[in-house]
């Protein structure tokens, strides 16, 4: 898939339900450019079927190469467990004239939640694998 098509998908918050795990919908996306600083709300679907709202902000972009977003944690229920939560999407050209996608996530835990760090890393790894699968499906 050409990089421009992949970039269009990963840099548009409204496209997140198509590929980001457990995202049922996206609301309140700041309109216009630049993308850096743009904010939006994701409604995540829990395993019990409830919706949980989480606010995000694009923290950095580099051309059609990198798109980073971070969760707005201060003043939310997530603040009890998380100090920081970020996602980085990296795009590069692949040998077969397609686009290689790399995803990474950093979550800094707070207080006693730090004791669950190993489980959190495993969970984040599975989440990123699911997101890559979702990207592939969305781009077919």
Question: Is omega for the bond preceding 34 within 30 degrees of 0, making it cis?
Answer: yes
pLDDT band at 114 (very low <50, low <70, confident <90, very high): very low
Grouping H, G, I as helix, E, B as strand and the rest as coil, residue 82 is strand
The more confident residue out of 109 and 59 is: 59
Q: CB under 8 Å to 92, separation ≥6 — which residues? A: 65, 99, 100, 102
Determine what percent of the chain is predicted with pLDDT higher than 70.
Answer: 89
For residue 38, count other CB atoms closer than 10 A to its CB.
19
Q: 3-139 falls under which CATH superfamily?
A: START domain (3.30.530.20)
């Amino acid at each position: 898939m050409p990089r421009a098509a992949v970039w269009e998908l990963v840099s548009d918050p409204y496209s997140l339900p198509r590929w980001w795990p457990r995202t049922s919908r996206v609301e309140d996306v700041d309109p216009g450019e630049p993308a850096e600083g743009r904010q939006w709300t994701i409604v995540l679907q829990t395993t019990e079927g409830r919706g949980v709202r989480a606010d995000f902000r694009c923290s950095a972009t580099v051309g059609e190469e990198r798109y980073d977003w971070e969760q707005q944690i201060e003043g939310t229920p997530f603040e009890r467990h998380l100090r920081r939560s970020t996602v980085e999407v990296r795009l590069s050209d692949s040998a077969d004239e397609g686009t290689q996608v790399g995803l990474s996530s950093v979550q800094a835990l707070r207080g006693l939640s730090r004791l669950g760090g190993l489980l959190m890393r495993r969970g984040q790894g599975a989440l990123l694998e699911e997101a890559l699968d979702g990207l592939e499906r969305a781009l077919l």
